[in-house]
Amino acid sequence: MAAYLRWLIAIRLVVISSVVLPYFLLRISSAEREPPTFDLLFLLAGVTYLASLFYIFFLSVWRHRPIWHAYLQFGGDLLLVTGLVYFFGGIGSPFSMLYLVVIMVAAALLRHRTGLVVATAAYLLYASLLLALARGWIPQGPVALSESEVAWRLPYNLAVHFFGFYAVAFLTSYLAATVTRAERELEQQRDTIANLESLHRDVVQSISSGLIATDLAGRITSVNRAALDILGATEAALLGRPVASCGLFAPGEWREQAELLADGRSARTETEIDRGDLRLPVGFTVSRLTDASGTAAGWIVVFQDLSQWRQLQEELRIRDRMAAAGELAAGIAHEVGNPLAAISGSVQLLSSALPANESQRRLLDIILKESQRLDRTIKGFLRFARPKERAVTRFDVAALLAENMALLRHSEEATGRHRFEIDLKPSSAALVADADQVSQIFWNLARNALRAMPDGGTLTLRGRLASEHYRLEVSDTGHGMTEDQRTKLFQPFQSFFDGGTGIGMAIVYRIVQEHGGRLAVDSRPGAGTTIAVELPLLQPAAVAVGVEA
């Protein structure tokens, strides 16, 4: 409202100046022929300029009451127009049309009621002026009409201006209300479109799949956050470039995809992209991008990181193999256990009954030794196939690991070429689990680490307490594992050492699974191995354990 009132002041000054300036120039040119006289127009102009200063001052004083200020200006404008009408001919003055301007401004700014009030005030001033001039109550202005002209023009002007003033007030109010309603609806539609655009942008940016949009020429026009994360690139590096260069397509593959879509066919493709030292598996599809009318506008490439999916597939394969191995182990233990015990007992009897023949005794010792090794293997199968019931208690896991580490230092597996480091933070941490099974996890990981360092090395035990789990890591500086060995690490009967049964790491997997934990393996040939186990501080039901490379 205040801005409109300032514009009204400026327009008023322009109008009065455009009227006074030509008249002033005319008076200067005729000053030599006629003596100067006082003019009402100059007085009106001076009063208008002073009133404008007054309006500007009160616009700041009454900034919280703009309607009052508007009525004040409308009243001043009506008096100014009345003065101009009087000075320029009274009944015959063309300046009576300025009443309509004031009425239109009032109706547009303050709507219907104010328009009618200003129209009524304008008609009363105009009619009073004409009647006063016709009756001779006030002197005629510089331009006067004859009595005959006044006689017929007075009723005509009063009737026409009455109809014109109120018609303009009604029409302007209606048009102003219509425009306001249209502006409000347009603003609502603009807000709705903005909200839809924001929602569309948020949805596109929030989906976990990568999304690349291109134009018909195959140049990238937009990408979402997931696409940037998967490709390991920035938005500035992708926008405007050919989509074939984003790393998803082999040379010539983008053209083949476009030709397939042109024939109405599409296919899902899998590839691998370089992410530093990693090869990231990615699956993607290409489809047409069309506008609302169905016209082709470009292409859309949707792709996903398949690492977790392949990891899940690997976990399911391990579970299936372990389930089958468990059934097999139970059968072997049942079928072989009793005959093996009979063989071992018979060999011991023969060894004590036969004469002391060196070659025969050596053969009997070999049979006894191998039967005992086979017995250990069978018992390992039984521990894997039928693990004992968990005895869940609350214990200090850091103290337990420190105690087991001390025992490992003095065990037969440790030699003078092995170094041991322990890093437990904090030095005391409570865990709800089976303490014996946690010790079994440590011993199986530690023994494998020592076997991986036959020529010596460093075994490091780390323990960290997090908000929801305890993480223990066993690291060695041994020969490491290949990718194929790492894949088969937790499969039963997959031993990478001489004399091993291949059951130890499968048992670790089973224990971690029953405790609802996770396993992570980091190993490279010649760079050693680190196996991390995360056990929840409170025990949930048994779930599938996650294995991370």
Euclidean distance between CA atoms 301 and 364, whole angstroms? 71
The per-residue pLDDT for range 234-287, each reduced to its tens digit, is: 888 888 888 888 878 877 777 777 777 766 566 677 888 877 667 788 888 888
Which pLDDT score is estimated for 545? 46
The per-residue pLDDT for range 47-78, each reduced to its tens digit, is: 776 777 666 666 666 666 667 667 777 777 78
Strands 546-548 and 518-523: parallel
Structure tokens at 303: 């792709």
Domains of the chain, with CATH numbers? 2-184 (no CATH), 208-305 (3.30.450.20), 311-385 (1.20.58), 392-548 (3.30.565.10)
pLDDT tier for residue 169 given thresholds of 50, 70 and 90: confident
Structure tokens at 59: 């616009």
Average pLDDT over all residues of the chain: 78
pTM exceeding 0.75: no
Euclidean distance between CA atoms 516 and 336, whole angstroms? 33
Average pLDDT of the residues in 174-200: 84
Contact present, 493 and 325 (Cβ < 8 Å): yes
The per-residue pLDDT for range 466-478, each reduced to its tens digit, is: 888 999 999 999 8
* Residue linked to tokens 């074939």: 244
The per-residue pLDDT for range 173-186, each reduced to its tens digit, is: 888 888 888 888 88
Which pLDDT score is estimated for 396? 93
State the DSSP code for 478: S
Strands 469-476 and 457-465: antiparallel
Which pLDDT score is estimated for 382? 62
Strands 278-290 and 296-305: antiparallel
Structure tokens at 13: 């000054």
Which pLDDT score is estimated for 7? 62
State the DSSP code for 390: P
Based on DSSP, count helices (H) and strands (E) in the chain, helices before strands.
Answer: 14, 13
Residue 119, SS3?
helix
Which pLDDT score is estimated for 543? 42
Contact present, 70 and 110 (Cβ < 8 Å): yes
